[in-house]
Amino acid sequence: MKFSNKLIKAKFIKRYKRFFSDHILEDGKLVTAHCPITGAMTGVAKEGITSWLSPSNNPKRKLKWTWELTQETNTIVGVNTHSPNKIIQE
């Protein structure tokens, strides 16, 4: 799927308060991203797993980042619940 912004690779650290997740970018910077899924995310929110984040330039947003995908070995799971319809359309 083509995302509006280039996805940035990171390592997932933790998720908290339903909508917040911490990730470490490849340059070592710790960022907090919006987590679109409010459910348990059992199996896809493991510490150290590869995550893919999209940046936002919208100054009105509380968080600059959105958690889009998670990846374990060759399996990629969509985290952003707004993406499935776009993926199917493509």
Stronger pLDDT, 22 or 3, i.e. the higher one: 22
- How does DSSP classify residue 60? T
pTM listed for this prediction: 0.85
How does strand 8-16 pair with strand 30-34? unpaired
Provide the terminal-to-terminal Cα distance of the chain, rounded to the nearest Å.
7
Going by C-alpha positions, the residue among 18, 34, 48, 26 that lies closest to residue 80 is 34
- 90, pLDDT greater than 70: no
Instruction: Tell me the per-residue pLDDT of 48-87, one tens digit each, with 9 for 90 and over.
Output: 999 999 999 899 999 999 998 888 888 888 787 766 666 6
Specify the amino acid at residue 24.
Answer: I
Distance between CA 72 and CA 54 in Å, rounded? Answer: 18
Specify the amino acid at residue 56.
Answer: S
